[in-house]
Amino acid sequence: MNIFKRLIFTVAMMLSLGAAAQPDAQYAAWDSLLKKHVRWLPDNKQSRVDYAGFKADRAELKKVLDSLSAVGRGEFDAWPKPQQMAFLINAYNAFTVELILTRYPDLKSIKDLGSFLVSPWKKKFFRLLGEERYLDWIEHEQLRPNYADPRVHAAVNCASIGCPALRNEAFTAPKLDAQLDDGMQRFMADRTRNRVQDGTLEVSMIFKWFREDFEKGHRGFTKLEDLFAAYASQLSDDAAVQARLKAKSLPVNHLDYDWSLNAVGR
């Protein structure tokens, strides 16, 4: 390779690396807001959101939302899948916070933002990838069908206490797998959402609503019981109960979902 061709190759590689790094770098402001306004509870399994703090920083949040909206479809399609997935999760969580702020503090639940005709998740109130979008578009039309990773259910946050915790950091491509794993670990170990009680495994309604996602073979799981067996040590501290979970011999019930706002103080 002559010097000229080597120079062209080096410049192309640098541009490629720069383009790959850019999507994660743009989450710095979102990461800063999350660290400032999301707090882990003492159990480190649940988090609460300081919506009043987010409201005070609404201008900074708007910059984050504008940067997400500025990404075009062509740019997005050129990214590797982990970058796409991190982008979509961050967008879902950031726009959910914005949706809450449209009426905060005069609401008790995200459901208060819906109507008889349109749920809050079907409201078109933001632009993403060049078109007007709604939250369900991100979760049910993009993340679930296109990436087939059920751990996303412990990553997107619906601003409710019953939902898996909102992380106090942005999702990024290099850390995505570890972040998704950590989210599932915390969720499965959260005894307010998933637990064994009186010989019955009591789990979140998420496992009823999205059962099919957890049975599509991700990490070899073809039945929900496979997932519960894999997380036996998170679901119970009792060795005998863990053995029954691994043997897949416990009956399963689903807990009521708490749609109360996941605000600080709740």
Q: How confident is the model at residue 26 (pLDDT cuts 50, 70, 90)?
A: confident
Q: Provide the pLDDT for residue 19.
A: 38
The mean pLDDT of 10-14, rounded to a whole number, is 35
Q: Which of 4-8, 106-110, 206-210 has the lowest mean pLDDT?
A: 4-8
pLDDT at 209 over 70: yes
CA 124 from centre of chain: 20
39 phi and psi, to 5 degrees?
-125, 130
Pull the structure tokens for residue 156: 């997107």
Q: Considering only CA atoms, which of 64, 14, 57, 23 is closest in space to residue 38? A: 57
Cβ within 8 Å of residue 207, ≥6 positions away? 214, 224, 254
Q: What is the DSSP letter of 166?
A: P
Instruction: Say if CB 68 and CB 128 are below 8 A apart.
Output: yes
Domain regions of the chain by residue span: 19-189
Q: Give the count of alpha carbons within 13 A of 122, CB side only.
A: 6
Tell me the average pLDDT of the chain: 92
Q: What is the pTM of this model?
A: 0.91
Q: Provide the pLDDT for residue 32.
A: 97
The mean pLDDT of 236-253, rounded to a whole number, is 98
Q: Provide the pLDDT for residue 24.
A: 67
